[in-house]
Structure 1
Amino acid sequence: MRAHHARAAKALDVQTEPGGEFWGWAGRTLGAPARTAAGAPAWLRLVSAPEDKASGKLWDGALDAQHAFGDLNGHRPALLGVHDAFDDGTAYRAELSARVDEPVLSDDPVLQHDLQLPDSWWADFAAMLEKVSVVATERVAVRQQYMDRAIPQFLGIPAPAVTRWTTAHADVHWANLTGAPLRLLDWEGWGHAPEGFDGATLYAYTLLQPDTAARVRAAFPVLGSPAGLAAETTVCAQLLQTVSRGDNLVLKDRLRDWSEDLRRRQP
């Protein structure tokens, strides 16, 4: 990975900076700060996959997002270049993006402390996701087949009808968000999802902090409404599924409470 990262830097004409190496899950990705030939700060991320799996939604997510959204009025790091390489059955994609120097709001996707964010941040965040929601795409973040299977399995109720499908980032949590200025990171998995999906996802990752969780619901009034039930039950099922696999155990009790509320709201 380091050798291919260095080759990608040369191909994209950037210089990586020492001491900033960041490895992703299971060594699948390697990122590092860099500077372009013009001296602009950038981030060079390398992702690897078996050559026969180097396609599809996650592989093309960042590139598709650049074509669909650009920099989203400054709220999304622009993709500056892409370089693909293949070696002994493995595919490598290097993505050069504008660097985000602002720290994320949490080191963990699950919020561990209350946040005091200004009303302007919440207004900008909701407006940004509204712009995302109306972008036309054939990408799919949540499949009806998954909802039909997972919601009965983990919540014990039939999957609610989806009143409206919209476009979602689909991985909105506190480790993907910055404060001032507001940035939303990691656009691998975006696509169609039930209305309110991004708000419901952020709410799920905020369950340990009731005050901030209430602020999430205030920012996204679709949550708690009949139109938002499909998104909320889907997100709750997704997180309960991760708990069943031994992840996000800190959320287990709060997710159970949420699922009981969702069952009561079932028509």
Structure 2
Amino acid sequence: MRLLPDTVVRKRRTVGARTDRDTWVRIERRLLDKIPDQGWNGTECAARLEGVARPAWRRCVVWRDAEAAWRADETDLLPAAPVGTAVLSAAPELPDDWWNALNASLDALAVQHTRRVATPDTVTITQALVTESVRSVFSADFDTAVERWVPAHADLNWANMTAPVFSLFDWEDWGNAPLGLDSASLWASSLAVPALAERVRHERRSDLESRDGKLMTLYVCSKILGRYGHPDDPRREPARRTAEQVIEGLRPG
């Protein structure tokens, strides 16, 4: 098998390329202390998910050096191009069928069964992490306890989905997470385009209007508004306004 150099795509943690047998190989390097106890095989484990539109997994090779582990996964080619970058500045043209496919896949994912725990940004998501992240930005008096944990992609953004044919890829971080994490993450990736953010809220309202969905909205807002957020991020103001509204709904009484 040979990788085709003119098809190489570099992302934050990975590099991928088309092969001479019309498949895709994605290579990731991860520091050894960033590999969780559950292992580092999200793409492989996602192969058993039912009802979720994704490229079929074929095989993998894993190796290590002194500081890090390397993993190369071979999958089928994507059915279409990625929608765009992780955070969009203009609304893509997405037909209703695309939104229906998104909803069907996310709803199907949420009813799967797994012992995996999601690792967004390679960090295992826990109740303590949710509380710490939310409290680091929002000090209002409300309970941050998560009630329901369900399987989530855990890196849902516009760079990890295709259009006009819907498919969801890059499954290395998936696992159980608070209900609404994926919906809130996609909403946050859309905030620079108000109409798109509103469409996401409409399509995923069952998640985002739940108590856990509101907590996840604050969780993703904390990433935008917290100390690692960029001061010129156009999403800051809509994130702040939404957070204020959500907090009012979470306050006791």
1:218 corresponds to: 202
Contact 1:170 1:190 in 2 (8 A): yes
Work out whether 1:18 is the aligned partner of 2:8. Answer: no
2:49 corresponds to: 69
1:175 corresponds to: 159
State the alpha-carbon separation in 2 of the partners of residues 85 and 122 from structure 1: 38
1:234 corresponds to: 219
Structure 2: segments with no counterpart, 5+ residues: 119-124
Aligned pairs for 1:1-267 within 5 A: 14-25=1-12, 28-36=13-21, 41-51=22-32, 54=35, 56=37, 59-66=40-47, 68-69=48-49, 72=51, 75-100=53-78, 102-106=80-84, 108-141=85-118, 142-157=125-140, 158-222=142-206, 223-241=208-226, 244-246=228-230, 249-267=233-251
More helix by share: 1
The range that moved more, 96-105 or 80-89, is 80-89
CA drift of 1:148 comes to 1.6
Over 3 Å counting, the alpha-carbon distance change for 1:191 and 1:111 in structure 2 is same
Contact 1:44 1:94 in 2 (8 A): yes
Letter in 2 for 1:156: S
Over 3 Å counting, the alpha-carbon distance change for 1:200 and 1:29 in structure 2 is closer
State the alpha-carbon separation in 1 of the partners of residues 117 and 232 from structure 2: 24
State the alpha-carbon separation in 2 of the partners of residues 53 and 147 from structure 1: 19
Contact 1:62 1:188 in 2 (8 A): yes
State the alpha-carbon separation in 2 of the partners of residues 254 and 152 from structure 1: 19
RMSD across aligned positions (CA): 2.4
1:5 corresponds to: none
Normalising by structure 1, what TM-score? Answer: 0.81
State the alpha-carbon separation in 1 of the partners of residues 43 and 232 from structure 2: 26
State the alpha-carbon separation in 2 of the partners of residues 90 and 146 from structure 1: 25
State the alpha-carbon separation in 2 of the partners of residues 159 and 257 from structure 1: 20
State the alpha-carbon separation in 2 of the partners of residues 90 and 199 from structure 1: 32
State the alpha-carbon separation in 1 of the partners of residues 68 and 76 from structure 2: 26
CA drift of 1:252 comes to 1.9
Normalising by structure 2, what TM-score? Answer: 0.85
> Which structure would you say has the larger Rg?
1
State the alpha-carbon separation in 2 of the partners of residues 140 and 54 from structure 1: 12
User: SS of the residue aligned with 1:212?
Assistant: helix
1:95-139 superposed Cα distances (whole Å, 9 cap, x missing partner): 111111521111x21121123322222111111101100111122
State the alpha-carbon separation in 1 of the partners of residues 67 and 136 from structure 2: 38
Over 3 Å counting, the alpha-carbon distance change for 1:124 and 1:89 in structure 2 is closer
State the alpha-carbon separation in 2 of the partners of residues 230 and 97 from structure 1: 34
Contact 2:94 2:164 in 1 (8 A): no
1:149-204 superposed Cα distances (whole Å, 9 cap, x missing partner): 11111122344332321111111111111112101121111111222221111111
Aligned residues between the structures: 243
Identity of aligned residues (%): 30
Contact 2:131 2:145 in 1 (8 A): no
Contact 2:127 2:145 in 1 (8 A): no
User: SS of the residue aligned with 1:35?
Assistant: coil
